[in-house]
Structure 1
Amino acid sequence: MDSETRSYRTGGRDVVLDLTDDCASWVAGRGDGLLNLFVPHATAGLAILETGSGSDDDLLSTLADLLPADERWRHRHGTPGHGRSHVMPALVPPYATVPVLDGRLALGTWQSICLVDLNVDNPDREVRFSFLPG
């Protein structure tokens, strides 16, 4: 198994960050197998969805409806509503696995691999890329 940790800066707002190009370049030339991604953070997740057509904004809007940034959360350090970021990985998991065929991601036409981050208190994120040969 081959693996690498990559760093990303998500900034000070809710974000869906497209990692597809990074993933595609990382698996290029590796043959058949699985790309496993993992975010070692309690407040971020990974999603496979269409981006650029509004779906990424729709995801953030849906998460804001489900997990409002207000004072209802028992987990209360950080900015108001920070506790929602600790609940989000139960809805948007911190892992994803994608088939790789002949060194290329076997995603559908409109699918992208995205880092989802609602934690405005921590803009620095790591994503662990692992390739499991088939």
Structure 2
Amino acid sequence: MKRFDMIARGTVTRQATGRLVVDTKGQGFTEITDAAADFVREAGVRHGLLTVFCRHTSASLTIQENADPDVRTDLLTALDGLAPRHAGYVHGSEGPDDMPAHLRTLLTDVALTIPLVDGQLALGTWQGIYLIEHRDRPHRREIVLHLAGA
């Protein structure tokens, strides 16, 4: 039998919205866990849900291991195999890295929802929140944060 703790039952729901701007260095992972945790701390919400949303079609979000950087290297290699550059795509007006970037975003996601427990993101021990830049050159990416809870 599973046990479920009821937390914040009957309390007033609060909301907070914020914006995070991330300057990427080109293709790769940029960890944004600390920035998301800072937003939660400043909002003062103890229990609820944090939604993290990427406002782009050639960059995405993921929760992945934050201990061994080789994991992120291998993930980029896998994405290269799933959505290779120079594969004869019709859409190419923004360069050979654009259509593969759209495919990689399709395979990953632009939004994450993370539970908040006792004022902390309920991530696992080795989990981090990452923005994945799928384009070759640096970009300025906008992330919207929305927190709802008590």
- Correspondence 1:48-87 to 2 at 5 A: 48-53=63-68, 54-87=70-103
Equivalent residues of 1:79, 1:121 under 8 A apart = no
Q: How far apart are the structure 2 equivalents of 1:26 and 1:89?
A: 25
Question: TM-score with structure 1 length normalisation?
Answer: 0.92
Residue number among 5, 8, 19 corresponding to 2:22 in the alignment: 8
Q: For this pair of structures, how many residues does the alignment match?
A: 133
Question: TM-score with structure 2 length normalisation?
Answer: 0.82
Equivalent residues of 1:27, 1:103 under 8 A apart = yes
Moved more, 58-67 or 76-85: 76-85
Task: Name the counterpart of 2:57.
Answer: 42
Distance 1:100 1:26, change over 3 A: same
Moved more, 119-128 or 16-25: 119-128
Please tell me whether residue 124 in structure 1 is matched to residue 137 in structure 2: no
Larger Rg: 2
Task: Name the counterpart of 2:6.
Answer: none
Please tell me whether residue 101 in structure 1 is matched to residue 117 in structure 2: yes
Equivalent residues of 2:83, 2:100 under 8 A apart = yes
Q: How far apart are the structure 1 equivalents of 2:62 and 2:116?
A: 17
Moved more, 109-118 or 74-83: 74-83
Deviations 1:95-134 (A, max 9, x none): 0010011110000000101001112356110000100115
Secondary structure in 2 matching 1:112: strand
Moved more, 82-91 or 104-113: 82-91
Equivalent residues of 1:24, 1:105 under 8 A apart = yes
Structure 2: 5+ residue runs without aligned partners? 1-14
Q: How far apart are the structure 2 equivalents of 1:15 and 1:122?
A: 10
Q: How many angstroms does 1:2 deviate by?
A: 1.1
Structure 1: 5+ residue runs without aligned partners? none
Q: Could you tell me which amino acid in structure 2 is paired with residue 92 of structure 1?
A: T
Find runs of 4+ consecutive structure 1 residues off by over 6 angstroms.
none
Instruction: Please report the RMSD computed on the Cα atoms of aligned residues, expressed in angstroms.
Output: 1.4
